[in-house]
A = this chain, B = another copy of it.
Amino acid sequence: MSIALDAKTQTDDPFDLATRITTRDGRTIGHTSDAYWAFVGPFGGTTAATMLRAMMDHPKREGDPLALTVNYCAPIAKGPFDLNVRLIKPNRSSQHWSVELTQGEDVAAFATAVFAVRRPSWSHQPKTMPQVTPFGDAKPYREAAANWVRQYQFRFVDRGPQIGESGDGALASAHTKLWIRDAVPRRLDAISLASMGDAFFGRIFHVRKEIVPFGTVSMTTYFHTDAEELAAMSADTVLGVADASVFHKSYGDQIAELWTPDGKLLATTQQVTYFKA
């Protein structure tokens, strides 16, 4: 049988290429992307996005992503991987799914997701976007220690990471705000939001003003809009706001928000991270 590319991924967009999946003989296969490579493995955002895409492209999928949890179980080696997609439980207006990412016998990542057909309701957004310098007036961040960083345009609106300035011994704030856009602008969808939720630099790099061994262990993202609303917005840029609560006994956390420039909350995400310091 020939490889059947999903029509939605027949594109030259770098993010779509990096998160492309193919189906053949009942297997769903993804491939790591050199363009989005991180220090010792693929950027976790593209891994999450690829796993989400595998569920979204499944013929039985109904509704839009509401919640996505990705557990990063082991390093992913350069090359192809299998995506074993399972519909755990279909309901009338929601579905529960899981995806296992394997290379050979090893499970390298495991994700669960909830999809929902979102019905009109009362709307209320208690949280408000912070007032910040507009995207056009903020300065692009030019450093890129890893390939994946070059795939985004980052514009910090308070201060960027002060890597190399740890000599004074003072800790910096874990709270940062920055504009995030795909380097090749791409209309936001749930898949790109899943990836952008992991595109913040490690909180510990900001706080300690130095790079230390670090990795995301588990990440959960909630989506607060559906595909129809996202398409209507036709936006390609988010304001990312991230913070940390605690670093303790080799693990820390991150809580983050992704906002449209006009103050609509698109997604909230949290992750627990390993560090060595």
Contact = CB atoms under 8 A, between A and B. Distances in A.
A37 interface: no
A173 B126 CA distance: 8
Oligomer copy total: 2
A131 interface: no
Contacts of A118: 248-251
A209 to B, nearest CB: 13
Interface in A50-95: 66-67, 69, 71, 73-74, 88-89, 91, 94
B71 A96 contact: yes
A237 interface: no
- Interface range on chain A: under 10, 10 to 19, 20 to 34, or 35 or more? 35 or more
A89 B74 contact: yes
Interface of A: 66-67, 69, 71, 73-74, 88-89, 91, 94, 96, 98, 100, 106-108, 110, 112, 114, 116, 118-127, 171, 173-175, 207-208, 217-218, 220, 222, 224-226, 229, 243-251, 253, 255, 257, 265, 268, 270, 272, 274-277
When A and B form their complex, which 8 residue pairs have the shortest distance between CB atoms, in order from nearest?
A: A118-B249, A73-B89, A127-B245, A67-B218, A220-B220, A69-B69, A122-B277, A121-B250
